[in-house]
Amino acid sequence: MREESALYIGIMSGTSLDGIDVALVDLAATPTLLASHFQSYSPTRVATLLDLHVAGRGELHSAQLTANQLAEDYANATHALLKKAAIDPRDIRAIGCHGQTVRHRPEKGYSLQLNNGALLAELSGITVVSDFRSRDIAAGGQGAPLVPAFHDKILRHPTIHRAILNIGGIANLTNLDPKRTTTGFDTGPGNLLMDAWIAKHQGAAYDAHGAWAASGRVIPVLLLALLADPYFAAKPPKSTGRDHFNLAWLGKHLHATESPAEVQATLLALSADSMAEAVRRDCAGTEEIYVCGGGAHNDALLARLRTALPQCRIDSTDRLGIGADWMEAAAFAWLARQTLHRLPGNLPAVTGARHPCILGAIYPA
């Protein structure tokens, strides 16, 4: 490893459970995305991870085995990225690996992201920084969202009030008001419920461009019932996950008479309307919204957002120099750098922590 290197790799596998995003980022000055790679999860891996979201016999053993398998997946994805970029592993300062969240319970004092950082360091030959959430939670925070700190560093404008909307399985919002401290929080479901519903009824991994949702009509009574969940009215700081929003949660509101396409339309409306309300209530005065994550490709979702927020220009973070698909992975590359330089990686105004913290555990190569 060359100590002076400013090349970092970020690895993100989110609540959508679609796979692994890997980004090679030059952090010498303005963060620059040099290369990227996506590696999808196998159906078996997805099934195992879904099982681990609920308590069951043998779950500790299964979790440890899965953590090892994920480390192997992460290493393979890293090698594929480096081959694509023609970069020697010795030129990489560190990998920042988020891991795969299977439980997020900050109110109980923990958030669990599966990964074996030591094994990933051994397999990749690169120093690994992981377990980013635990220190923030130890300091009284939610441990999430963490990406707003990266948004604050690279996307803040001196005069324009921006918001960054990251639509993954769960959606989170970063409020970049030039006159105030950056804030942010999880707004609620992004793609998670829509993905789960279309998988159940059509066997598809996701609703491409929101086409299936666009084919149905929103069920107003169902939408109101879903939006009545106390999470949406709760004040930030707040974070959530699959522990709260899942098909079992949805099922409590269904009567088995609804058209599947109409339920999908309603789930899209739930995501869009909860995001829009979060902008109106907690980011008043926003002029521009830049979207990243898988939801940036959902045309029907973005159309509903634009209708709900006509005063805001809504565009992709591609226009700001970081591709919508790679923002989170790039953020964890940056968070790894923060850790190695003994700099805070959290924003207390976002997570609710008592103070800024140096995040992560380091596994030297």
Q: How far is CA 216 from CA 79, 82, 269, in A?
A: 43, 43, 11
Domain match, 168 and 209 both? yes
User: Which residues span the domain enclosing 72?
Assistant: 7-144+326-363
Measured in residues, the chain has a length of 365
* Structure tokens given for 68: 């090892």
Q: How far is CA 345 from CA 24, 172, 219, 350, in A?
A: 19, 17, 42, 11
Averaged confidence pLDDT in the chain: 97
Q: What is the pLDDT of residue 337?
A: 98
Domain match, 301 and 165 both? yes
Domain match, 16 and 111 both? yes
In a domain, 1, yes or no: no
Domain match, 176 and 310 both? yes
Q: Read off the pTM.
A: 0.96
Amino acid found at 206: Y
> Are the C-beta atoms of 125 and 89 separated by less than 8 Å?
yes
Number of structural domains the chain divides into = 2
Domain match, 17 and 127 both? yes
Domain match, 194 and 78 both? no
Q: What is the pLDDT of residue 1?
A: 44
In a domain, 218, yes or no: yes
Q: What is the pLDDT of residue 58?
A: 87
Distance CA 332, CA 144 (A): 13
Q: What is the pLDDT of residues 245-262, one digit of tens each?
A: 999 999 999 999 999 999
Q: What is the pLDDT of residues 49-96, one digit of tens each?
A: 999 998 888 899 999 999 999 999 999 999 999 999 999 999 999 999
Q: How far is CA 319 from CA 16, 216, 314, 323, in A?
A: 24, 32, 11, 8
Is the previous residue joined to 145 through a cis bond, with omega within 30 degrees of 0?
yes
Bridge partner residues of 111 (DSSP): 104
Distance CA 227, CA 231 (A): 9
Domain match, 307 and 203 both? yes
Domain match, 191 and 300 both? yes
Q: What is the pLDDT of residues 314-364, one digit of tens each?
A: 999 999 999 999 999 999 999 999 999 999 999 999 999 999 999 999 999
CATH number at residue 353: 3.30.420.40
Domain match, 102 and 166 both? no
In a domain, 81, yes or no: yes
How are beta strands 32-40 and 19-26 bridged, if at all?
A: antiparallel
Domain match, 249 and 349 both? no
Q: What is the pLDDT of residues 27-44, one digit of tens each?
A: 998 899 999 999 999 999
Domain match, 70 and 187 both? no
Q: What is the pLDDT of residues 157-205, one digit of tens each?
A: 999 999 999 999 999 999 999 999 999 999 999 999 999 999 999 999 9
Q: What is the pLDDT of residue 56?
A: 86
Is pLDDT at 3 greater than 90 in this prediction?
no
Q: What is the mean pLDDT of residues 100-110?
A: 97
Any idea which residue has 């190569």 for tokens?
Answer: 365
